[in-house]
Amino acid sequence: MKIPTKEHIRATRKALKETQREFGERLGVDPITISRWERGESSPKSRIVLAALVEAAAMIPHIRPAGLTEKGFEKK
């Protein structure tokens, strides 16, 4: 599974209308971690977190971030 970009992460969170704290709770990470991902300072590494991120993004197919398919973020 390809690591989502900072744009994918932010677009998913915004489409769900969640704060960084709420999104962090959904994914099981600290809100500071969400902030770092969205600024491109780090990226999700845990397969569990990646799976949760894909699941969250899949909930919003009409606003699905570019590059996200039913199987995860497509490879370039």
User: SS3 sequence, the chain?
Assistant: CCCCCHHHHHHHHHHCCCCHHHHHHHHCCCHHHHHHHHHCCCCCCCHHHHHHHHHHHHCCHHHCCCCEECCEECCC
The answer to whether residues 73 and 4 touch, using CB atoms and an 8 Å cutoff, is yes
Q: Is the pTM of this model over 0.85?
A: no
pLDDT tens, N- to C-terminus, the chain (76 residues): 577 889 988 988 898 899 999 999 988 899 999 999 999 999 888 877 877 887 777 776 655 555 555 555 555 5
CATH tag for 6-73 (out of 1.10.4080.10, 2.120.10.30, 1.10.260.40, 3.40.640.10): 1.10.260.40
Residue 68, strand partner residues: 73
Break the chain into its structural domains and give their ranges.
6-73
Residue found by looking up tokens 């197919």 in the block: 61
